Structure 1
Amino acid sequence: MRLIRGLTNLQRLSGDPASPLARGCIATIGNFDGVHRGHQTIIDQVRSRASELGVPSVVMIFEPQPQEFFQGRDAPPRLMPFRQKFEALLAAGVDIVLCVRFNDRFRSYSAMEFVEHILIDGLGVHHLVVGDDFRFGCDRAGDFRLLESVGAERGFTVENTRTVMVDGDRVSSTRVRNLLNVNGLEAAERLLGHPYRVHGRVVYGRQLGRTIGAPTANILLDRMPALRGVYVVRATLDNGESYDGAANIGLRPTVDGKRPSLEVHLFDFAGTLYGRHLDVGFRHGLRDEVKFDSVDELRQQIARDFEQAREWLADNPLPADDD
């Protein structure tokens, strides 16, 4: 799998006969936040057609996501950061990810400039898979019908994405986000196809946890997370080892946290985790984030959290093949 960052790098590849895009591609476009079951079905559509034609499958995504560009801090929380999304697309079998920087220059592209410069000249697209409500270009003037019309003239085809229904409603990133906001982990898992997870690199924190008997691995988050509170988790280290634990995700109000973070305490783990990557799966919600009057009150509550987490784990063991 290859990552192409930005339109400048795409333009360089477009004129290279040794480029993986030399014979064109099958592509889809979107945020792919969460890479949920609906996204996975779209990727299957793209991969199937790409296999038929013997060309690469391409997913085009944006950084920042359009809502983040327009709404700033008021944008909905992400389900996953860029690195985690890239890894999920890799696991789904995508050949190439084109990551376009969403900025003023990009948003000023007209619909026809988008089609000509990116889809045709850049990607050499043979077939495009997008939703029938897909809009693009300056002032969102481009739509599915325009793509069909231009494609008929310029030699590419357009296919509508297949809708995936779970529990009687369409799978979407917004629906997953709303479920996580109300601690609906099991329902969110049905939409994602796996437990909700957060990946990240462990950094040095204030080491307060060590002073109150609860050492934690600290992962800083770029944006406010899609869920907040204290959870029972299953964390996998970068060497494949997995541990049960408890985690707080949010702003740590008792210690005046200014930046969102994920703090994970691994049960029965001894060693250091600084600099390593953790994959944290959320299994069960214990409580909301609370601002305590003192660090001692926080320490007592953390002890109760750990006890409740261990009790829940004893009643809800993972199957052997998930261990």
Structure 2
Amino acid sequence: AIIERLKAQAAKVGGPAVVFTFDPHPVRLLRPEAAPPPLTWTDRKAELLAELGVDAVIAYPTDRALLALTAAEFFQRIVREALAARAVVEGPNFYFGRDRQGNTETLRQFCQDADVALDIVTPIVAGESFISSSRIRDCVARGDVDEARRLLTRPYRIRGLVTHGARRGNTIGFPTANIAAVDTLLPGEGVYAGRAYVDEAVIPAAINIGPNPTFSEQQLKVEAHLLDYSGSLYGRTLEVDFLARLRDTRPFASVDALVQQLQHDVGETRVIAANAT
């Protein structure tokens, strides 16, 4: 809804539709221990916004000097001078300026004084509450990727660097890509059906997040078994979508029992990926 309103305002004033975002999130500088993990990365955000028809995305570098600006200084230096905005579109919970001193009412007064159009957009309701990043984070963190997908209107995606692991999967017929250095929120522990992006190919993938209790490994890992794929991915960045949660992680009494379950997981993944949009 907010992007459609942004494009409508841009058309009305005859200018480009520009999304302005902070990178990193201001909380990462002010209270790093309380900073929420991001749901996506900057390049991906720009890609998604471009698909929605946004003309440009500005990821403004967040530093102490920016955070020290008063609300009035922020409006003058950023909104008026840097962006030369003729219309502003915001949600109702927007705060700006040092110590969050500016809110939507402050913004409304500043815009009125500067003859800048202002459109405050009410969030969309899904179910019994508004769609918000906090709500989506909660879904992802508890492994409810189905609900996250419904709220996002697309599957939740992560990316990371493929590193060497114990190579135990190779010995039982299920080689996995060990995905490290994930810089966004990880779904909760469990086994998932998903898909991986390798060059131009989209490959079904069974994904495990968690320890490997069958082999007494307690370290949390992200491992993806790419179906019918035999190439090497070591050292590459891999992007993975989560389509559905299949089951909890659990120990198995034997390797044979584990293999039997993995075969079932792969079968489910194949069907889910084939029917996913």
Q: TM-score range by the shorter chain?
A: 0.7 to 0.9
Amino acid in the other structure paired with 1:103: D
Deviations 1:272-323 (A, max 9, x none): 2245554322122234456x7xxx979667535522313424664633x84x
SS at match of 1:49: helix
Select 1:203's aligned residue among 130, 139, 162.
Answer: 162
Specify whether residues 209 and 122 from structure 1 end up closer, same or farther in structure 2 by C-alpha distance, changes over 3 A only: farther
Partner of residue 131, structure 2: 171
Given that 1:199 and 1:280 are in contact with CA atoms closer than 8 Å, whether structure 2 keeps it comes out as yes
Partner of residue 124, structure 1: 84
Given that 2:205 and 2:269 are in contact with CA atoms closer than 8 Å, whether structure 1 keeps it comes out as no
Amino acid in the other structure paired with 1:312: E
Partner of residue 182, structure 2: 221
Deviations 1:25-56 (A, max 9, x none): xxxxxxxxxxxxxxxx2111111221333311
SS at match of 2:54: coil
**2:21 equivalent to 1:65:** no
SS at match of 1:203: strand
Partner of residue 27, structure 1: none
Given that 1:245 and 1:309 are in contact with CA atoms closer than 8 Å, whether structure 2 keeps it comes out as no
Specify whether residues 73 and 315 from structure 1 end up closer, same or farther in structure 2 by C-alpha distance, changes over 3 A only: same
For residues 134 and 68 of structure 2, the distance between their equivalents in structure 1, rounded to whole angstroms, comes to 26
Specify whether residues 315 and 206 from structure 1 end up closer, same or farther in structure 2 by C-alpha distance, changes over 3 A only: closer
For residues 95 and 168 of structure 1, the distance between their equivalents in structure 2, rounded to whole angstroms, comes to 33
Quote the offset at 1:123 in angstroms: 0.2
Partner of residue 153, structure 2: 193
Partner of residue 31, structure 1: none
Amino acid in the other structure paired with 1:51: A
Specify whether residues 226 and 286 from structure 1 end up closer, same or farther in structure 2 by C-alpha distance, changes over 3 A only: closer
Q: How does 1:1-323 map to 2 (within 5 A)?
A: 41-200=1-160, 202-206=161-165, 208-209=167-168, 211-213=170-172, 214-219=174-179, 220-222=181-183, 224-239=185-200, 241-249=201-209, 255=217, 257=219, 262-288=222-248, 303-313=259-269, 316=272, 318-319=274-275, 322=277
Quote the offset at 1:73 in angstroms: 4.2
Given that 1:79 and 1:226 are in contact with CA atoms closer than 8 Å, whether structure 2 keeps it comes out as no
Given that 2:140 and 2:188 are in contact with CA atoms closer than 8 Å, whether structure 1 keeps it comes out as yes
Specify whether residues 185 and 68 from structure 1 end up closer, same or farther in structure 2 by C-alpha distance, changes over 3 A only: same
Specify whether residues 314 and 272 from structure 1 end up closer, same or farther in structure 2 by C-alpha distance, changes over 3 A only: closer
Specify whether residues 150 and 317 from structure 1 end up closer, same or farther in structure 2 by C-alpha distance, changes over 3 A only: closer
TM-score, reference length from structure 1: 0.73
Quote the offset at 1:210 in angstroms: 5.1
For residues 317 and 256 of structure 1, the distance between their equivalents in structure 2, rounded to whole angstroms, comes to 29
Quote the offset at 1:194 in angstroms: 1.5
Task: Output the aligned Cα RMSD.
Answer: 2.9
SS at match of 2:162: coil
Q: Give ranges in structure 1 of 5+ residues lacking alignment.
A: 1-40
Amino acid in the other structure paired with 2:165: R
Moved more, 45-54 or 134-143: 45-54
For residues 259 and 228 of structure 2, the distance between their equivalents in structure 1, rounded to whole angstroms, comes to 15
SS at match of 2:31: helix
For residues 102 and 251 of structure 1, the distance between their equivalents in structure 2, rounded to whole angstroms, comes to 36
For residues 33 and 90 of structure 2, the distance between their equivalents in structure 1, rounded to whole angstroms, comes to 28
Amino acid in the other structure paired with 2:167: L
Quote the offset at 1:91 in angstroms: 2.1
Specify whether residues 224 and 186 from structure 1 end up closer, same or farther in structure 2 by C-alpha distance, changes over 3 A only: closer
Percent of residue pairs identical: 29
Specify whether residues 251 and 56 from structure 1 end up closer, same or farther in structure 2 by C-alpha distance, changes over 3 A only: farther
Moved more, 230-239 or 212-221: 212-221
Given that 2:140 and 2:185 are in contact with CA atoms closer than 8 Å, whether structure 1 keeps it comes out as no
Amino acid in the other structure paired with 1:130: E
TM-score, reference length from structure 2: 0.84
Specify whether residues 126 and 318 from structure 1 end up closer, same or farther in structure 2 by C-alpha distance, changes over 3 A only: same
